[in-house]
A and B are shown apart, each in its own frame.
Chain A
Amino acid sequence: MINRRTFLAGTAGLAGTAFAGPFAGGNAFAQAAAPTYKPEEGSSLRLLRWVPFVPAEEEAWLANTKKFTDATGVEVRIDKESWEDVRPKAAVAANVGSGPDMVMSWFDDPQQYPDKLVDLTDLGTSIGQANGGWYAGLEGYAKRGDQFIALPLCAIGNAVVYRDSHVKAAGFSEFPKDTAGFLELCKAMQAKGTPAGFPHGKAVGDGNNYAHWLLWSHGGQMVDESGKVVINSPETLAAVKYAMELYKTFIPGTESWQDVNNNRAFLAGQVSLIANGVSVYYAALKDPATQEMAKDMRSTNFPIGPVGKSVELAQTSTISVFKHTKYPEAAKAYLQFMYQPDNMNAWIQGASAYCCQPLKGLANNPVWTSNPIHAAYARASETLRPNGYAGPLGAASAGTMADYVLVDMFAEAVTGQSSPEDAIANAERRANRYYRV
C-alpha cells in the first residue's frame, strides 16, 4: 500500500496495480522481489539533467516525477543544464560534495568519480532482472566491476538522415549498405549539388559519433582490452584515408561545424545527408516551411565498413546518485519508480525515438513502429559500442573523448594540416597521455 511515507516503489504488486497500463508486460521478466526503499523523513531531491531535446520527453519525465511526489510526498526539483555543461557541473558537485543529489550525465562521466557515487547494485540488478536485462553496452557505462555506480538511462541513436528524392536523383534507388557504396553515393550527391556534411569541428556529440564510426567501421580502435593505446594501426590509416575521400564530397565548412550546424544546414536545404538524432526530423515537421522536406526525409544506420558489422558509438546517458545526498533512500525510491515499466515506457514514448530504452524488456515500445523514420534509432542500445573500446571505461576514456583526440585526428588529416600518418601519431601521443603510458 502506498502512503506518503512508506513507499514500496517498484514492487511487482505496485506496478501491477497502482500504475498498470499498456506496458505492464515488463513484469513478465520479474524474477525476485525488488528491494524496497523508504524515503527519509522530510526528504527532498534535486536532479541535474540535460536540457531536453524533445519537449514531450521532458513532459513525460515531469509527469512521472509528479506521480512519485504525489505518492511519497518527496519533492523532486529538476535543474536543467545545457548538455555540454552537465559534465563540468556534475564533476564539480562530485568533487566538492555539494549540489544536486542525482545527475543525468553522459557517457563515462560516472566512471570519472565512482567513489563519489552511491552503490546502486541492488536496484540495478533488480530492475535488470525484472525487465529482461540491461543492454550490455549501456550497462558497461553504469558499472564498475560488478557494482552499479549508476543506472543506464538511454542511448541516443545517431542515424544517417537523408533526403530520399536527392539520393534517388543521384542514381541510388537504395541506400548503400557498405562504406564503399556510401562514398560513391556522397560523390554522386555532391555532383548533383545536394552534398552530404559530417562535422569535423568540435561537435561533442555528432563529431564523436562520426569519428568513432569512421575508426571502428575500418577495424581501428583507440585501445586494446588492457587499455594499451593501439590507435596507430593500418586499420586506422585506412579509416583516415577513407575520411579524406569522404570529406572531399562534403559541403565546405564542416571543419568548423559544432553540433547544431548539420541540423541547421540540413533544414535550410544546404545539405541532403547528415547523421543526427531524430530531433532533426521533428524540427522539420514542426516548421510549416519544412513540412514538405520532412515527408522526404528518411533515416538509416551508418553503413558497414571493412570490419563487417554495424559499429556505432551512440550518445549514452546514465543516472547516478551522489554520496553527498542526505536522502539516498529517497533517491533510490525515485529511480525505482521512474524505471517501472509503465513509467519508463511512457518516457521513451514521449521522447519520440530520441531516447532508446536501456532495458531489453522494453524493446517492443510502440514508438519504434509508429513512424518508419524511427526504425533506425531502435537498435541504438543494442548495437552501441562503448567509448574507448575495447579498453576499460574511466577517466582515460572520458578524457580522451573530451579532448577531441579522435575528432582532431580526422580533422587534421582531412584538412591537410597533417599527413594521415602524422595525425595518427599525434592522436597516439595524446591518447597515451590519458592512458598514462
Chain B
Amino acid sequence: MSVSTASPPAGTKASFFERLSQSRNGLGLLFMLPAALFLLCFLTYPLGLGVWLGFTDTMIGRPGIFIGLENYEYLWHDRVFWMSVFNTVVYTAVASVLKFVLGLWLAIILNEHLPFKTFFRAIILLPWVVPTVLSALAFWWIYDSQFSIISFVLMKAGLISAPINFLGDPTNARLSVIAANVWRGIPFVAISLLAGLQTIPASLHEAAALDGATSWQRFRSITLPLLTPIIAVVMTFSVLFTFTDFQLIYVLTKGGPVNATHLMATLSFQRGIPGGALGEGAAIAVAMVPFLLAAILFSFFGLQRRRWQQGGSD
C-alpha cells in the first residue's frame, strides 16, 4: 500500500485566505463576524452605555461624573419608583396570565374545524397589526371620564347613573390599562400557540380517545405537555413585551392618576428625557434588567423542563 499526500510545492506558502478557507474555526469566526459586530454596535454598546449612565449624574446637555450607586440609593427610598416597580410587576403578571389563558383558549377554538376558519384566523390578528399608538388612542376614548362608550351604554341601559371613572381611580386605571394590553397581546399568543397545536399529531388524540380519555385528560396529558416548548418561548416574549410596555401607558395615562399606572419604562422616560436626568432615567431602565433576566431564566429553566414536558413529575 502506498500513501501519497498532496503537499504544496516546496518554497510556496499558502496565502492567508487559502488557509482561512481551509480552517473550520476561521470560517466560523468569519461568518459570525457580521452578527457579532451588529450585536456589539447595537446591543452591547447601548446596553453598556445605559449601565454606565446609571452610575453617573449625567443631565441632558451636560456630561456627568461617576457617582457610584447614588442613583440607586435615591431610587431605593423613592416611593414613586417603588410604585412603578409594583405597577410593572402587577401589570406584567396579570396581563401575561390573562393573555396566556385567553390566547390558549382562542388557539384551541381556532384549531377546531370551524366554518370560515381562515377568515377568523386572519381577523384575530387585527389587534396585533394595528399600531399600538392608534389602538391606545381608541382606548383613550373608550376610557374617557366623560365620553366613554362603555359608560354611555351602561347609563342608557340604566345600570349606572354616572360615567365610570376608568382612568381617574387608581384601581380602575390599572385594570383599564391591563385590559387594553390584554386586548392587544392576545393575537400574538393565540396565533403562536395555534401553530404549536398544529404540530401535535392527531393520532395521539385518537389513540387516547380510543383508550377512553376524556377531553380534559387529553388536554392535560397530550396537548399541554407537547405545547410546553412553544408556550415557554411565546410567554417569554409576551412577558418581555409586557414588562417593557410604554406606548399604551404613555397615551392613556402618562403614568397617572398620581403615578398609579407608571411603569418602570414610562418613569424612566419621564425622568430621563423630559426631566433631563439621564443618569437617573438610565438607572431605572437598568433596574428592569434583573426582572427581565428572572423572567427569561424562569422560562428556560422552569417551563422547558424535559421530564415535565414528557408527562413526568420532575
Residues on A lying within 8 angstroms of B by beta carbon are 84, 87-88, 91-92, 94-95, 112-116, 200-202, 251-258, 261, 264-265, 268, 270, 395, 398-399, 402-404, 408, 411-412, 415, 417, 426, 429-430, 433-434
A202-B255, A252-B162 known; A268-B147 Cβ under 8 A: yes
CB distance from A250 to the nearest CB of B (A): 10
CB-defined contacts of A398 to chain B, threshold 8 Å? 275-276
Flag if A253 contacts B276 (CB, 8 Å): no
Flag if A253 contacts B146 (CB, 8 Å): yes
Interface of B (DSSP majority class) = loop
CB distance from B45 to the nearest CB of A (A): 15
Total A-B pairs, Cβ < 8 A: 124
Flag if B276 contacts A399 (CB, 8 Å): yes
Flag if A252 contacts B255 (CB, 8 Å): no
Flag if A270 contacts B146 (CB, 8 Å): yes
CB distance from B223 to the nearest CB of A (A): 42
Contact of A94 among B60, B169, B271 (CB under 8 A): B60
CB-defined contacts of B144 to chain A, threshold 8 Å? 261, 264
Flag if B62 contacts A255 (CB, 8 Å): no
CB-defined contacts of B168 to chain A, threshold 8 Å? 201, 252-256
Flag if B274 contacts A200 (CB, 8 Å): no
Flag if B271 contacts A403 (CB, 8 Å): yes
CB distance from B149 to the nearest CB of A (A): 14
Contact of A403 among B74, B258, B270 (CB under 8 A): B270
Interface of A (DSSP majority class) = helix
A268 to B166, CA, bound (A): 19
Q: Which of B64-79 contact A (CB under 8 A)?
A: 74, 78-79
CB-defined contacts of B147 to chain A, threshold 8 Å? 264, 268
Contact of B62 among A202, A268, A395 (CB under 8 A): A395
Q: Considering only CB atoms, which chain B residue lies closest to A87 in the complex? A: B274
CB-defined contacts of A395 to chain B, threshold 8 Å? 59-62, 276
Q: With an 8 A cutoff between CB atoms, is B273 at the interface?
A: yes
Count class of interface residues, chain B? 35 or more
> Can you list 28 residue pairs at the A/B interface with Cβ under 8 Å?
A87-B274, A91-B60, A91-B61, A113-B60, A115-B61, A201-B256, A201-B257, A202-B256, A252-B162, A252-B168, A253-B145, A253-B163, A255-B167, A255-B168, A256-B143, A256-B166, A258-B254, A261-B146, A264-B147, A268-B146, A395-B62, A398-B276, A399-B271, A403-B270, A408-B258, A408-B259, A411-B257, A433-B78
Q: With an 8 A cutoff between CB atoms, is B170 at the interface?
A: yes
Q: Which of B59, B173, B257 has the most CB of A within 10 A?
A: B257
Q: With an 8 A cutoff between CB atoms, is B135 at the interface?
A: no
CB-defined contacts of A261 to chain B, threshold 8 Å? 144-146
CB distance from A248 to the nearest CB of B (A): 14
A165 to B161, CA, bound (A): 26
Chain B positions 248 through 260: 1 when the CB is less than 8 Å from some CB of chain A, otherwise 0: 0000011111110
Flag if A255 contacts B146 (CB, 8 Å): no
Q: Which of B122-146 contact A (CB under 8 A)?
A: 143-146
Flag if A113 contacts B257 (CB, 8 Å): no
A252-B145, A261-B145 known; A417-B275 Cβ under 8 A: no
Q: Considering only CB atoms, which chain A residue lies closest to B61 in the complex? A: A113
Q: With an 8 A cutoff between CB atoms, is B90 at the interface?
A: no
Taking A253-B146, A399-B277, A411-B258 as known contacts, 9 extra A-B pairs with beta carbons closer than 8 A to each other, sorted by chain A number, are A91-B276, A112-B60, A113-B60, A255-B257, A256-B168, A256-B256, A256-B257, A268-B146, A434-B277
CB-defined contacts of A255 to chain B, threshold 8 Å? 165, 167-169, 256-258
